[in-house]
């Protein structure tokens, strides 16, 4: 198992080796925090927690204004969120809805790596998995929005 100092060193070394853009920032809950910009341009956030021997990889996705209006008016919001949650659970991605199911404003996606399971393969895999989960949320938002648009037969 890696020590905390070794984890700090390895995270930076492995992320740089991937040729991703890194921006370090301060957060009261994390000893180390990075904004990572993947080659695809996606942003992922990584933090080494202060209180637990764990790395958090996350992304918070605010609901776009057009989707927020459709969501609030939709009778199918529970179907949308349930389908999204099931897909994310299958991907083994933790999901939190803010502030509530009825007043959805953002979705937080997260994966965790504890020090006893820390490896380069695990770190890079979890970052890519979170990027894929982010794509899934956008795909499902698009599908949800399109399902509420008038079809060709309904247009005047």
Question: pLDDT of 42-66, one tens digit each?
Answer: 999 999 999 999 999 999 999 888 8
Q: Is residue 155 part of a domain?
A: no
Return the H-helix or E-strand segment holding 113. Answer: strand 106-114
Going by pLDDT thresholds of 50, 70 and 90, the confidence category of residue 153 is: low
Q: Is residue 153 part of a domain?
A: no
pLDDT digits 0-9 by tens, 87-116: 999 999 999 999 988 888 999 999 999 999
The closest of 132, 52, 50 to 91, measured between CA atoms, is: 132
Q: Is residue 137 part of a domain?
A: yes
Structure tokens at 71: 């969501």
pLDDT of residue 58: 97
74 by DSSP, 3-state: which?
coil
pLDDT of residue 64: 86
Contact 111, 40 (CB under 8 A): no
**Prediction pTM value:** 0.89
17 by DSSP, 3-state: which?
helix
**Angle 44-49-50 from CA coordinates, rounded to 5°:** 150
pLDDT of residue 156: 45
Q: What is the number of domains present in the chain?
A: 1
Kindly tell me if the per-residue pLDDT of 155 is higher than 80: no
C-alpha span between 120 and 65 (Å, rounded): 38
Q: Which residue is listed with tokens 């301060």?
A: 26
- Write the CATH number for 87: 3.30.1460.10
Segments forming the whole domain that contains residue 38: 4-147
For the chain, count helices (H), then strands (E): 4, 6
Q: What is the mean pLDDT of the chain?
A: 92
């Amino acid at each position: 198992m890696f020590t905390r100092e070794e984890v700090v060193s390895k995270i930076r070394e492995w992320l740089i080796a991937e040729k991703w853009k890194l921006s370090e920032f301060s957060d009261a809950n994390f000893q180390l925090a990075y904004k990572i910009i993947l080659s695809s341009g996606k942003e992922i956030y990584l933090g080494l927690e202060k209180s637990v021997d764990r790395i958090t990889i996350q992304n918070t996705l605010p609901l776009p204004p057009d989707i927020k209006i459709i969501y609030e008016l939709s009778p199918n919001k529970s179907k949308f969120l349930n389908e999204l949650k099931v897909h994310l659970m299958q991907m083994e991605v933790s999901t939190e809805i803010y502030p509530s199911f009825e007043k959805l404003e953002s979705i937080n996606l997260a994966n965790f790596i504890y020090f006893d399971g820390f490896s380069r393969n695990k770190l890079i895999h979890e970052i890519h998995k979170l990027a894929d989960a982010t794509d899934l949320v956008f795909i499902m938002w698009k599908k949800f929005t399109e399902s509420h648009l008038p079809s060709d037969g309904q247009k005047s």
